[in-house]
Amino acid sequence: MSRSGRILGALLGALLGCGSSRPEAVRMPASGTMMAGDSMAMMATPLIPETLARLDSLELADSTARAIAFSHHAALLSPLLKAIETDLMHMGMHRDPAYEALVDSVRADAAALVPGPRDALRGQVDRVRRMLSGYGAMVGKGKRG
């Protein structure tokens, strides 16, 4: 077969292939690209009620019980923070600098492992509550699309 015959055959094959009715392969969304309606178990959501209960207990405890409860609470914050980060990443939520600063301060409070005076504790508890509220707002916004 001559060179022009091979080129003509290749062009003919390419043109015939254009009219193909084969369906294109469906791609699953990559991490961070979930859309409203996609199903995913939220990792942080089940941890929130027990965290709020711990915060209530911390606020009501006397100084001795508060020191013990705070160390337990601080140890449980790490998995909660990781779950929040994972949920927001999978939902494709954009990082908000103010929220990130709040999360960093909560992380620093947990690392200190010292509840301090009641006023300092109140600030730590308020930061955790604001962080959880912000998480709830972002998840709610993400679910609405």
- pLDDT tens, residue order, the chain (145 aa): 566 556 545 544 444 444 444 333 223 344 444 444 455 688 999 999 999 999 998 888 887 888 788 878 888 899 999 999 999 998 888 778 999 999 999 999 888 766 666 677 888 889 999 999 999 998 888 765 5
Q: Is the dihedral of CA 76, 79, 85, 90 positive or negative?
A: negative
Vertex 30 angle, CA 46 and 139, to 5°: 35
The residue with tokens 């690209």 is 33
Is there a contact between 137 and 84 (Cβ–Cβ < 8 Å)? no
Q: Residue 43: its pLDDT value, please?
A: 92
Query: What confidence score (pLDDT) does residue 24 get?
Result: 36
Three-state secondary structure call for residue 30: coil
**What does the alpha-carbon distance between residue 39 and residue 28 come to, in Å, rounded to a whole number?**
12
Give the model's pLDDT for residue 2.
Answer: 62
pLDDT at 19: 43
Q: Specify whether the backbone of 105 is left (phi greater than 0), alpha (psi in -120 to 50) or beta.
A: alpha
- Rounded Cα–Cα distance for residues 140 and 119 (Å): 31
Predicted pLDDT of residue 11: 45
CA distance 23 to 101: 47
Residue of 135, 144, 138 whose CA lies nearest to 46: 135
What pLDDT shows up at residue 114? 65
Give the pTM: 0.67
Domains of the chain by residue range: 40-144
